[in-house]
Structure 1
Amino acid sequence: MSFNSDIILGALLVGTGANSVLYTVEVIQAFAGIVCHRDRFRVGDRKLCLCISLHNHSLGRFGVSAEPVLGKSFRSYWKKHNQTHIIEQPYPLYVFTTGVVAALVQSFLAVRYWLLSKNKFITLTLFLFITVAIGGAFASAVTLAIFPGYKDRETVLIPATTWLIAEAVTDISIASALLLEFWKARSSFREIRSLLHKLAAQTILTGTTGATIALAVLVAFLENNGTNGGFPGLPPSIPGSHIQVSTGIAYCLGRVYCITMLANLNRRKPRTWSSKCMYSGASPETRGEPGNHERSEGGDEYGGIRGFLVNIDTPREFSRGSLKTNPGQGLPYDSPAVEIEMTVNDSASYLSKKKQDLFAA
């Protein structure tokens, strides 16, 4: 039987190349987050990045099955599979590790939603979806390990379908829940409105990317069941030919989740804002020294807090660094004007609360 082996294994080659490109982006994001911004990352964030790195090392074993595609001829590689009809060992490992890293990323976003909304019902529902998804991935990996033959592919149909559908539903649910909270958090402050718009755009991109890839894998997996893999002229009797397209697309799933996590962490750029109280009078005895108080807090892109000048004609005497009233004084008209530069306290507290709610994770 003659057939074009390039068409059969082309999906694997394209998927491997896309996987390598995404891995490069992932390494850049990890370097920027852990090395360049290590002082901005909390211990929990670094531990989470370490878990993702371990996932990448485990996923590197998948190169064992991709090596024949890159290092040998397509025909000799397919000839070996046509003789053995056995799924290579890295397939179950890849499915399991992809499910684990997806659960880590989704849990991170669900925790951010909880810190923002404190909605127990929706949060528990999101974690239920996450549990179903990782359970489906684990069941698919175990089934592939127990039944490695291509002829037993039907046994993995139900757990694989459950896994991919749960992944897509979880991604869309988390994105929808976060968008709903961002829509509720309306504010009259321009900086907060701008930030909410950026967060909404990032949430849409985060949710739709993972869900789209998961649904693409599912459609390719179900559509090619027992067919010729969607390629005209390809005989349907070739063992495992219908798996190659879905496998090639699935190569990118774990990488996309890793990039999603690291991109969310790297966007948390702290900004320093200052609160100043300056007092000045006619003489050194009545002049308050400037008291500068700077505060740094981890958060995203909030603008600085603006201050204003208040000119007060007052009979009060000012001690160094504080305001004190002298009851014995009258109301002299020749008292100097005291310029007080102060920060809007209600704006500071409001913005601080928003920063803690949105970026506590």
Structure 2
Amino acid sequence: MSTALPHPDAITGALLVGTWASSLVYMAELLEAVKYFRAFKKDDWKLKSYIAVVFGIDTISAIGDYACVYLYTITHAGDLVYLTKQNWAVPLYVISTTCVAFLVQSFLAFMYWRFTKNTIFVCFLSILILGAFGGGLSAGLTVTLFPAYKDRNKARIPGTIWIGTQLAADLTIAGALVLELMKAKSLFKGERRVNNMLNRLVSHTIRTGTATAVIAVVALIIFLIDDETNIPNGILYTSGRVYVLSMLINLNIRDSFGRPQNWTTSSGPRGTVRGAHGTTYNFSTVQFCPTEPHSSNSESIKSSAWLPTLQSPANISDTQPLDIEMMPTDTKQGVPEV
């Protein structure tokens, strides 16, 4: 076996820089997680458990990244034979990042299905998500069985499938959500506040979808050019953090819309918020449904955690009780209290 010292920039340097970037994103992720569990205590326990599991797996992945660098630079510093192999933390990061991406993409796909009920398209998304999941697990298993850097070419096919299908899934989900949000804007012509909210959602969806896609495509290109360098690994160190961060922001954005100044809150078992424009808004931790009480032919759309819906009054009574209900004020009372 060759004991030639690999170039430290490509082996340990790329991983070290990757942990620095990962730490910055993880701090933002941690703040969003604390914000979510503090602000949305009434969310369904299943959703909160799901978030906790995703966050926990990503935390394990981040710890594994630090362990990988520590083993290379401290524990086995100067060990030329050790530097020619990928330690146990490398497949750990591949498998954990794959699991995080799978859970977050599945969550977004489910939210899209709740919004559109487009089962055929969601099945297509599921194929991409499962393809990325299988490719990632295969890549992690290959690295476990063939840890030497000279054998990295054995992971080329599963690694390409993993990153390629993950990239396709990210872009497809982001594009589909943006398209549905743009369609929703046509239902709220003249509603400046709602349109501003939708514009923010569109902007956020594009940013998060683009971020994960850029990370994936840059890592894939570098890996195909040189499969013995750790630069793709260093880049992908931030991937899991970005996925979880985008998921948490999608949930926490519900708290950032605030409340218009012409709404008042009245007491009641569910809490009612009254608007002055003859529009009824029903908010829950899973969906919110603005309704025009005087329109008999309103269009109906289903909603996800952050997407607005418009329902006819007849449909309101058929839905489950909501946490917050926004009812129109009596028009005879004039402008409601602030």
| Same fold? TM cut 0.5 | yes
The alpha-carbon deviation at position 194 of structure 1 amounts to: 1.7
Task: Report the CA distance shift for 1:63/1:2 in structure 2 as closer, same or farther (over 3 A).
Answer: closer
Q: Distance in 1 between matches of 2:79 and 2:22?
A: 24
Q: Distance in 1 between matches of 2:215 and 2:276?
A: 44
Q: Does 1:359 align with 2:329?
A: no
- Report the equivalent of 1:109: 108
The alpha-carbon deviation at position 86 of structure 1 amounts to: 2.0
- Report the equivalent of 1:61: 64
- Report the equivalent of 2:121: 122
Q: Does 1:26 align with 2:26?
A: no
Query: Residue deviations 1:68-94, cap 9 Å, x none?
Result: 45647xxx63x4244562210111111
Please, what TM-score do these two structures have when normalized by structure 1?
Answer: 0.70
Q: Distance in 2 between matches of 1:138 and 1:204?
A: 28
Task: Report the CA distance shift for 1:296/1:210 in structure 2 as closer, same or farther (over 3 A).
Answer: farther
Task: Report the CA distance shift for 1:134/1:359 in structure 2 as closer, same or farther (over 3 A).
Answer: same
Q: Distance in 1 between matches of 2:21 and 2:169?
A: 24
Task: Say if 2:95 and 2:140, in contact at 8 Å, map to a contact too.
Answer: yes
The alpha-carbon deviation at position 6 of structure 1 amounts to: 4.9
Task: Say if 1:307 and 1:344, in contact at 8 Å, map to a contact too.
Answer: no
- Report the equivalent of 2:46: 44
The aligned amino acid for 2:107 is F
Query: Residue deviations 1:28-63, cap 9 Å, x none?
Result: 1111111x2142432122111211232034311332
For the aligned residue pairs, the C-alpha RMSD in angstroms reads: 3.3
Task: Report the CA distance shift for 1:344/1:306 in structure 2 as closer, same or farther (over 3 A).
Answer: farther
The aligned amino acid for 2:164 is I
Q: Distance in 1 between matches of 2:263 and 2:292?
A: 9
Q: Distance in 1 between matches of 2:5 and 2:89?
A: 28
Q: Secondary structure at the match of 2:87?
A: coil
Question: Which is higher, the Rg of structure 1 or of structure 2?
Answer: 1
The aligned amino acid for 1:87 is Q
* Greater CA drift, 178-187 or 88-97: 178-187
Structure 2: state its 5+ residue gaps: 279-290, 308-338
Query: Residue deviations 1:307-337, cap 9 Å, x none?
Result: 47xxxxxxxxxxxxxxxxxxxxxxxxxxxxx
Query: Residue deviations 1:126-155, cap 9 Å, x none?
Result: 111100000000111111111112222111
- Report the equivalent of 2:293: 345
Query: Residue deviations 1:293-315, cap 9 Å, x none?
Result: 79658xxxxx963247xxxxxxx
- Report the equivalent of 2:232: 246
Task: Report the CA distance shift for 1:108/1:346 in structure 2 as closer, same or farther (over 3 A).
Answer: farther
Q: Secondary structure at the match of 1:148?
A: coil
Task: Report the CA distance shift for 1:28/1:2 in structure 2 as closer, same or farther (over 3 A).
Answer: closer
Task: Say if 1:275 and 1:293, in contact at 8 Å, map to a contact too.
Answer: no
Which of 174, 194, 197 is the matching residue for 1:195?
Answer: 197
Please, what TM-score do these two structures have when normalized by structure 2?
Answer: 0.74
Task: Say if 2:170 and 2:213, in contact at 8 Å, map to a contact too.
Answer: yes
Query: Residue deviations 1:256-309, cap 9 Å, x none?
Result: 111111111111228679999xxxxxxxxxxxxxx9879658xxxxx963247x
- Report the equivalent of 2:15: 12
- Report the equivalent of 2:314: none
Task: Report the CA distance shift for 1:248/1:271 in structure 2 as closer, same or farther (over 3 A).
Answer: closer
Q: Secondary structure at the match of 1:87?
A: coil
